[in-house]
Amino acid sequence: MHKDSPYLLDIVAYFAKLHGLTAREREIVYCLARHGYSNRKLAEALCITEKTVKNHIAKIQDKTKAGSTRELLAMVVEQFIVHNRLLTDKEMAVAL
């Protein structure tokens, strides 16, 4: 699953570290960011129940202070933009 997007995996790993997410919570955030799964599809992909997915998402939202799954994904996108900007700034500094 993670082979196809190592850059996103790095972003999600950093995001998870910032917010103290567990490995499973990080995996759920990755799946949400990568595939936009519904709770049912997440549950199927991760071999857990929908209720467990909902519980994980609730804990993730609590830890990140996100009011919704949409807001949570917006936070990951923001982290992606910040990370990308930092990489671009480093590349520009090296070029100068």
Question: So what's the pLDDT on residue 23?
Answer: 96
CA dihedral 85, 91, 94, 96 (to 10 degrees): -80
What type of residue is 24? Answer: R
Question: So what's the pLDDT on residue 89?
Answer: 61
Please compute the mean of the pLDDT values over residues 21-30 and round it to a whole number. Answer: 96
**Residue 1 confidence (pLDDT) above 60:** no
Range from 13-27, 66-80, 81-95 that averages highest in pLDDT:
13-27
**Residue 37 confidence (pLDDT) above 60:** yes
The rounded mean pLDDT for the chain is 86
Burial 58-96 (b: 16+ CB within 10 A, else e): eebbebbebeeeeebeebbeebbeeeeeeeeeeeeeeee
Question: So what's the pLDDT on residue 2?
Answer: 43
pTM (two decimals): 0.79
Question: So what's the pLDDT on residue 32?
Answer: 92
**Residue 50 confidence (pLDDT) above 90:** yes
